[in-house]
Structure 1
Amino acid sequence: MYLYHYFDKRSGPFRSLTALPAEEAEKVLNQLKAERPESLCAQRDETYIEKRRSCEALLRREFAAKGGIMDIPSPYYMVVEHSPWLSTWFEQGDFLRIPIEAFDTRKISFTYGDSMPTFSPRVNDGKEYRRKVYTYDEILEIIKKYGLPQDWNDDGSHGPERYIEAHVWCDDPVRQYITQTEHK
């Protein structure tokens, strides 16, 4: 299994708005909207950062309840295997592919689909993987049962799940990929 991280080449990998103080995060998001109008980031509404922070708090709480280990307050976001849809999110898109063996899997939580719609009260289809955070071993069982969403729903026509989101709660091995490039 590989974890993928998609990003804009101008910013570099593993940039996180929620790792920034609120005022700075808003400033960066507004700058991205102005300078990269064709990116998915430019489509985010003014409450995005607040919603993302709330979702991260929920992920943290649920993962802690399962005994997950979290070394950092805000996770790095990755996905399980390649997502054709995510590869289109950025104007100058690129990605990193890291084998799962490079990580301490006790420090990674997963949602079957993006965490925001997974926990959204607007998504009420009764699927067993809604509103759940998984450990590595648990997500392997869900993958056996349902497959990878990008294989059966890359276009989103069967619901909001288009990939499996991985939340990396530590700096290793991510640190070696982070560049000194500032948000541009």
Structure 2
Amino acid sequence: MIDYLTYYYKRGTEPFRSLSALSDEEATKIMGELCDDTPFGIRFKDPVQYMRNRRQAEQWVREKFIAKGGQPRYAYPIPMVLGASEWMVKNSPDPGAHGEIRIPLSVFTEYDVSFTYPDSMISLWFGREKPIEYYQPEYHGKVFTVSEILLIVESKGLPEEEWKISLPKNFAPYIEAQVWNHEPLLEYKRQLYNGK
């Protein structure tokens, strides 16, 4: 049973940050620094469009999660991965500084975390456009609770390991977790800075 979330970040930078917490000006500056031709950086080629799509996807997830009983404590989530993702490790833009923080699902409640497959922006897009070569109606355009996603994983495994998936190579094939209660993350941040 998969019982943890993973946060991927560049070592030496502050974890559990989100572009959505910043002003458009601040976010655009950071996206300019991150923009390159890797699967991570290419999404920032058009920062205005990216932030518009990102905020739209976050609002969509938030509303769907609330409709299922979710209780978001923040206007935006901290995105993480259910279990682990080889794709994230393999495509890290700076392998020498690649960092991971694993957090047990047990520190969150059913009301704190929502899930999409793949990430929320792609799921929303596929759910709307229904591209023939990629669209999977049982997953795309849907928001899942922790109990719902764990039932899927229990029967099918994780997407990168056991699903017959069809995604463009630059699209991450993991299940994204959206953490809407940031408080449990603070203890992990403190441990990181205290060297524990």
TM-score range, shorter chain: 0.7 to 0.9
RMSD: 2.3
Q: TM-score, normalised by structure 1?
A: 0.85
Distance 2:28 2:21 in 1: 12
User: 1 CA distance for matches of 2:62 and 2:139?
Assistant: 17
- Aligned equivalents of 2:156, 2:172: Cα separation in 1: 11
In structure 2, how many angstroms separate the alpha carbons of the residues matched to 1:42 and 1:89?
10
| Contact 1:103-1:173 within 8 A present in 2 as well | yes
Is 1:90 the counterpart of 2:93 in the alignment? yes
The question of 1:69 aligning with 2:71 is answered yes
Does the 8 A contact of 2:58 with 2:76 survive in 1?
Answer: yes
Note if 1:177 corresponds to 2:185: no
Structure 1 moving runs of 4+ over 2 Å: 37-42, 121-127, 156-161, 176-181
Aligned residues: 176
Partner residue in 1 for 2:166: 158
Which residue of structure 2 aligns with residue 28 of structure 1? 30
Is there any run of 5+ residues in structure 2 with no aligned partner, and where? Answer: none
2:14 counterpart (4, 12, 15): 12
In structure 2, what is the equivalent of residue 111 of structure 1? 116
Q: Distance in 2 between matches of 1:70 and 1:140?
A: 20
1: CA distance, partners of 2:154 / 2:40: 32
- CA offset at residue 123 of structure 1? 4.1
Gaps of 5+ in 1: none
- Give the deviation of 1:103 after TM superposition: 1.6
Q: Is the 8 A contact 2:123 2:141 kept in 1?
A: yes
> Corresponding residue for 1:149?
159
Cα deviations across residues 34-72 of structure 1 (Å, max 9, x unaligned)?
Answer: xxx475442113121211111001001111111101101
> Percent same amino acid among aligned pairs?
35
SS in structure 2 at match of 1:14: coil
Return the letter of the residue paired with 2:109: D
Deviation string 1:110-143 (CA, Å, 9 cap, x unpaired) is 1122111111134432431111001111111221
* Residue 54 of structure 2 corresponds to residue 52 of structure 1: yes
